[in-house]
Protein backbone atom coordinates (compact mmCIF):
# COMPACT_ATOMS: atom_id res chain seq x y z
CA UNK A 1 0.00 0.00 0.00
CA UNK A 2 2.84 2.38 0.87
CA UNK A 3 4.49 1.83 -2.53
CA UNK A 4 1.21 2.50 -4.35
CA UNK A 5 0.61 5.55 -2.17
CA UNK A 6 4.10 6.82 -2.98
CA UNK A 7 3.61 6.28 -6.71
CA UNK A 8 0.24 8.04 -6.70
CA UNK A 9 1.68 10.89 -4.66
CA UNK A 10 4.66 11.40 -6.98
CA UNK A 11 2.43 11.03 -10.02
CA UNK A 12 0.22 13.87 -8.82
CA UNK A 13 3.22 15.96 -7.78
CA UNK A 14 4.37 15.83 -11.40
CA UNK A 15 0.95 16.96 -12.56
CA UNK A 16 0.59 20.61 -13.52
CA UNK A 17 -2.80 20.74 -11.81
CA UNK A 18 -1.19 20.12 -8.42
CA UNK A 19 1.06 23.13 -8.97
CA UNK A 20 -1.89 25.22 -10.10
CA UNK A 21 -3.76 24.25 -6.91
CA UNK A 22 -0.70 25.09 -4.80
CA UNK A 23 -0.08 28.41 -6.57
CA UNK A 24 -3.75 29.35 -6.24
CA UNK A 25 -3.65 29.12 -2.44
CA UNK A 26 -0.21 30.73 -2.34
CA UNK A 27 -1.45 33.68 -4.39
CA UNK A 28 -4.77 33.86 -2.54
CA UNK A 29 -3.10 33.98 0.89
CA UNK A 30 -0.61 36.62 -0.25
CA UNK A 31 -3.30 38.84 -1.82
CA UNK A 32 -5.63 38.60 1.20
CA UNK A 33 -2.85 39.55 3.62
CA UNK A 34 -1.78 42.42 1.35
CA UNK A 35 -5.32 43.80 1.01
CA UNK A 36 -6.57 43.25 4.56
CA UNK A 37 -3.33 43.77 6.47
CA UNK A 38 -5.07 41.76 9.21
CA UNK A 39 -4.62 38.03 9.81
CA UNK A 40 -8.07 37.66 11.42
CA UNK A 41 -9.92 39.13 8.43
CA UNK A 42 -7.84 37.03 6.05
CA UNK A 43 -8.73 33.87 7.97
CA UNK A 44 -12.45 34.72 7.82
CA UNK A 45 -12.27 35.28 4.07
CA UNK A 46 -10.32 32.06 3.57
CA UNK A 47 -12.93 30.15 5.55
CA UNK A 48 -15.64 31.08 3.06
CA UNK A 49 -13.42 29.93 0.20
CA UNK A 50 -11.98 26.75 1.72
CA UNK A 51 -15.24 25.20 2.92
CA UNK A 52 -16.60 25.42 -0.65
CA UNK A 53 -13.56 25.10 -2.91
CA UNK A 54 -11.63 22.38 -1.05
CA UNK A 55 -14.48 19.82 -1.24
CA UNK A 56 -14.98 20.63 -4.94
CA UNK A 57 -11.30 20.14 -5.78
CA UNK A 58 -11.11 16.93 -3.71
CA UNK A 59 -14.18 15.55 -5.48
CA UNK A 60 -12.99 16.40 -9.00
CA UNK A 61 -9.40 15.23 -8.46
CA UNK A 62 -10.56 11.97 -6.85
CA UNK A 63 -12.89 11.04 -9.70
CA UNK A 64 -10.47 12.24 -12.38
CA UNK A 65 -7.51 10.31 -10.97
CA UNK A 66 -9.52 7.09 -10.67
CA UNK A 67 -10.68 7.14 -14.28
CA UNK A 68 -7.36 8.35 -15.74
CA UNK A 69 -5.35 5.66 -13.94
CA UNK A 70 -7.72 2.83 -14.82
CA UNK A 71 -5.27 1.06 -17.18
CA UNK A 72 -2.50 1.18 -14.59
CA UNK A 73 -4.94 -0.07 -11.96
CA UNK A 74 -5.84 -3.06 -14.15
CA UNK A 75 -2.13 -3.81 -14.50
CA UNK A 76 -1.77 -3.77 -10.71
CA UNK A 77 -4.80 -6.01 -10.33
CA UNK A 78 -3.01 -8.63 -12.41
CA UNK A 79 -0.32 -8.76 -9.71
CA UNK A 80 -0.65 -10.70 -6.42
CA UNK A 81 -1.95 -7.65 -4.57
CA UNK A 82 -5.09 -7.09 -2.56
CA UNK A 83 -7.61 -4.88 -4.34
CA UNK A 84 -8.23 -2.87 -1.19
CA UNK A 85 -4.49 -2.21 -0.90
CA UNK A 86 -4.39 -0.77 -4.43
CA UNK A 87 -7.38 1.55 -4.12
CA UNK A 88 -6.74 2.76 -0.59
CA UNK A 89 -3.11 3.42 -1.57
CA UNK A 90 -4.28 5.48 -4.55
CA UNK A 91 -6.80 7.33 -2.41
CA UNK A 92 -4.20 8.24 0.21
CA UNK A 93 -1.80 9.41 -2.49
CA UNK A 94 -4.40 11.77 -3.96
CA UNK A 95 -5.66 13.05 -0.60
CA UNK A 96 -2.21 13.65 0.88
CA UNK A 97 -0.94 15.50 -2.22
CA UNK A 98 -4.00 17.79 -2.23
CA UNK A 99 -3.73 18.40 1.52
CA UNK A 100 -0.05 19.28 1.17
CA UNK A 101 -0.81 21.78 -1.61
CA UNK A 102 -3.36 23.42 0.68
CA UNK A 103 -1.17 23.48 3.79
CA UNK A 104 2.04 24.64 2.10
CA UNK A 105 0.26 27.07 -0.23
CA UNK A 106 -1.43 28.89 2.66
CA UNK A 107 1.35 28.32 5.17
CA UNK A 108 4.09 30.15 3.24
CA UNK A 109 2.44 33.62 3.04
CA UNK A 110 0.97 33.48 6.55
CA UNK A 111 4.20 32.42 8.23
CA UNK A 112 6.12 34.98 6.17
CA UNK A 113 3.65 37.61 7.40
CA UNK A 114 4.52 36.77 11.02
CA UNK A 115 1.81 34.30 12.01
CA UNK A 116 3.99 32.82 14.78
CA UNK A 117 3.91 36.16 16.62
CA UNK A 118 0.18 36.61 16.04
CA UNK A 119 -2.65 35.63 18.37
CA UNK A 120 -4.50 34.25 15.33
CA UNK A 121 -2.19 31.26 14.94
CA UNK A 122 -4.67 28.85 16.53
CA UNK A 123 -7.50 30.12 14.32
CA UNK A 124 -5.30 29.59 11.27
CA UNK A 125 -4.39 26.08 12.42
CA UNK A 126 -8.10 25.32 12.87
CA UNK A 127 -8.68 26.47 9.30
CA UNK A 128 -5.91 24.23 8.01
CA UNK A 129 -7.16 21.22 10.00
CA UNK A 130 -10.70 21.69 8.71
CA UNK A 131 -9.45 22.07 5.13
CA UNK A 132 -7.41 18.87 5.47
CA UNK A 133 -10.40 16.97 6.83
CA UNK A 134 -12.58 18.17 3.95
CA UNK A 135 -9.92 17.11 1.45
CA UNK A 136 -9.75 13.56 2.85
CA UNK A 137 -13.55 13.32 3.16
CA UNK A 138 -14.48 14.40 -0.35
CA UNK A 139 -11.63 12.54 -2.02
CA UNK A 140 -12.90 9.36 -0.34
CA UNK A 141 -16.47 10.11 -1.42
CA UNK A 142 -15.22 10.69 -4.98
CA UNK A 143 -13.46 7.30 -5.03
CA UNK A 144 -16.66 5.66 -3.79
CA UNK A 145 -18.65 7.25 -6.60
CA UNK A 146 -16.07 6.25 -9.22
CA UNK A 147 -15.94 2.68 -7.93
CA UNK A 148 -19.73 2.45 -8.24
CA UNK A 149 -19.91 3.87 -11.77
CA UNK A 150 -17.96 2.57 -14.75
CA UNK A 151 -19.31 5.33 -16.98
CA UNK A 152 -17.11 8.44 -16.67
CA UNK A 153 -19.92 10.86 -17.48
CA UNK A 154 -22.14 9.40 -14.77
CA UNK A 155 -19.26 9.34 -12.31
CA UNK A 156 -18.41 13.01 -12.83
CA UNK A 157 -22.09 13.92 -12.80
CA UNK A 158 -22.80 12.17 -9.50
CA UNK A 159 -19.63 13.63 -7.95
CA UNK A 160 -20.57 17.21 -8.87
CA UNK A 161 -24.15 16.58 -7.73
CA UNK A 162 -22.90 15.33 -4.36
CA UNK A 163 -20.77 18.45 -3.88
CA UNK A 164 -23.63 20.70 -4.99
CA UNK A 165 -26.04 18.99 -2.60
CA UNK A 166 -23.78 19.27 0.46
CA UNK A 167 -22.50 22.78 -0.35
CA UNK A 168 -25.74 24.48 -1.45
CA UNK A 169 -28.93 22.40 -1.56
CA UNK A 170 -28.54 20.91 1.94
CA UNK A 171 -28.36 24.38 3.50
CA UNK A 172 -31.47 25.47 1.65
CA UNK A 173 -33.45 22.45 2.83
CA UNK A 174 -32.15 22.96 6.36
CA UNK A 175 -33.22 26.62 6.44
CA UNK A 176 -36.65 25.77 5.01
CA UNK A 177 -37.17 23.15 7.73
CA UNK A 178 -36.21 25.70 10.41
CA UNK A 179 -38.75 28.19 9.04
CA UNK A 180 -41.55 25.65 8.63
CA UNK A 181 -41.08 24.13 12.10
CA UNK A 182 -40.10 27.32 13.91
CA UNK A 183 -42.85 26.78 16.52
CA UNK A 184 -41.20 23.55 17.66
CA UNK A 185 -37.97 23.00 19.63
CA UNK A 186 -35.28 22.57 17.01
CA UNK A 187 -32.14 22.31 19.14
CA UNK A 188 -31.51 18.61 18.58
CA UNK A 189 -32.62 18.78 14.94
CA UNK A 190 -30.13 21.58 14.23
CA UNK A 191 -27.24 19.76 15.86
CA UNK A 192 -28.07 16.45 14.18
CA UNK A 193 -28.53 18.01 10.74
CA UNK A 194 -25.18 19.76 11.09
CA UNK A 195 -23.39 16.50 11.91
CA UNK A 196 -24.71 14.99 8.65
CA UNK A 197 -22.99 17.64 6.53
CA UNK A 198 -19.19 17.96 6.86
CA UNK A 199 -19.18 21.33 5.08
CA UNK A 200 -21.65 22.89 7.52
CA UNK A 201 -19.88 21.29 10.45
CA UNK A 202 -16.53 22.69 9.32
CA UNK A 203 -17.97 26.16 8.74
CA UNK A 204 -19.54 26.28 12.20
CA UNK A 205 -16.36 25.08 13.89
CA UNK A 206 -14.36 27.91 12.32
CA UNK A 207 -17.03 30.54 13.05
CA UNK A 208 -17.14 29.53 16.70
CA UNK A 209 -13.35 29.47 16.89
CA UNK A 210 -13.27 33.02 15.52
CA UNK A 211 -15.91 34.02 18.09
CA UNK A 212 -18.31 35.39 15.47
CA UNK A 213 -21.12 32.89 16.07
CA UNK A 214 -23.55 35.81 16.34
CA UNK A 215 -23.57 35.80 12.54
CA UNK A 216 -25.45 32.50 12.74
CA UNK A 217 -28.45 34.12 14.45
CA UNK A 218 -30.79 31.81 16.36
CA UNK A 219 -28.82 28.69 15.63
CA UNK A 220 -25.63 30.46 16.71
CA UNK A 221 -26.70 30.34 20.35
CA UNK A 222 -27.47 26.63 20.10
CA UNK A 223 -24.17 25.83 18.44
CA UNK A 224 -22.29 28.01 20.93
CA UNK A 225 -23.79 26.07 23.82
CA UNK A 226 -22.71 22.74 22.36
CA UNK A 227 -19.75 23.29 20.04
CA UNK A 228 -18.31 26.02 22.27
CA UNK A 229 -17.60 23.48 25.00
CA UNK A 230 -14.72 21.01 25.07
CA UNK A 231 -17.20 18.15 24.63
CA UNK A 232 -18.68 19.87 21.59
CA UNK A 233 -15.28 20.39 19.97
CA UNK A 234 -14.29 16.78 20.59
CA UNK A 235 -17.63 15.54 19.26
CA UNK A 236 -17.38 17.64 16.11
CA UNK A 237 -13.82 16.51 15.37
CA UNK A 238 -14.94 12.93 16.00
CA UNK A 239 -17.80 13.46 13.53
CA UNK A 240 -15.34 14.70 10.89
CA UNK A 241 -13.13 11.70 11.58
CA UNK A 242 -16.11 9.38 11.09
CA UNK A 243 -16.80 11.15 7.79
CA UNK A 244 -13.29 10.05 6.76
CA UNK A 245 -13.36 6.53 8.18
CA UNK A 246 -16.74 5.43 6.82
CA UNK A 247 -16.06 6.27 3.12
CA UNK A 248 -12.57 4.71 3.36
CA UNK A 249 -14.08 1.56 4.85
CA UNK A 250 -16.58 1.49 1.98
CA UNK A 251 -13.69 1.77 -0.51
CA UNK A 252 -12.17 -1.25 1.21
CA UNK A 253 -15.38 -3.28 1.01
CA UNK A 254 -16.45 -2.12 -2.45
CA UNK A 255 -13.06 -2.76 -4.07
CA UNK A 256 -12.92 -6.28 -2.62
CA UNK A 257 -16.21 -7.21 -4.31
CA UNK A 258 -15.92 -5.22 -7.52
CA UNK A 259 -15.56 -7.15 -10.76
CA UNK A 260 -13.06 -5.48 -13.14
For range 246-259, the mean pLDDT? 84
Please give the pLDDT value at position 78: 79
Please give the pLDDT value at position 102: 92
For range 111-117, the mean pLDDT? 78
Residue 240, CA distances (Å) to 26, 58, 107, 149 in order: 26, 15, 22, 26
- The domain limits of the chain are 2-253
Query: Distance (Å, rounded) from C-alpha 58 to C-alpha 134?
Result: 8
Percent of the chain with pLDDT over 70: 88
Confidence of residue 158 (pLDDT cuts 50, 70, 90): very high
Q: Which of 39-43, 94-98, 137-141, 183-187 has the highest mean pLDDT?
A: 137-141
The angle that helices 83-113 and 121-148 make with each other, rounded to 10 degrees, is 150
Convert the pLDDT of each residue in 47-99 to its tens digit: 888 888 999 999 999 999 889 888 888 787 777 778 888 888 889 989 999 99
Convert the pLDDT of each residue in 5-36 to its tens digit: 777 777 777 777 788 888 999 998 888 888 87
Would the pLDDT of 163 be above 70?
yes
Please give the pLDDT value at position 12: 74
Would the pLDDT of 248 be above 70?
yes
Q: Tell me the average pLDDT of the chain.
A: 82
Would the pLDDT of 223 be above 80?
no
Please give the pLDDT value at position 207: 73
Query: Distance (Å, rounded) from C-alpha 59 to C-alpha 160?
Result: 7
H helices of 149-197, where? 152-164, 170-180, 187-195
Query: Distance (Å, rounded) from C-alpha 143 to C-alpha 146?
Result: 5
Confidence of residue 260 (pLDDT cuts 50, 70, 90): low
Confidence of residue 216 (pLDDT cuts 50, 70, 90): low
For range 152-172, the mean pLDDT? 90
Amino acid sequence: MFKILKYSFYDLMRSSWSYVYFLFYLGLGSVLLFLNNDVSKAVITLMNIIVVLTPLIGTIFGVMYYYNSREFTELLLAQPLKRSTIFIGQYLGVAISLAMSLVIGLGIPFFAYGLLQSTEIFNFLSLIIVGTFLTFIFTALAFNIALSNENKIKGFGYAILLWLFLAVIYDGLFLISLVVFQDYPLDKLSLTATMFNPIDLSRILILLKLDISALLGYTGAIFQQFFGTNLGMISSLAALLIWVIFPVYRIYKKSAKKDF
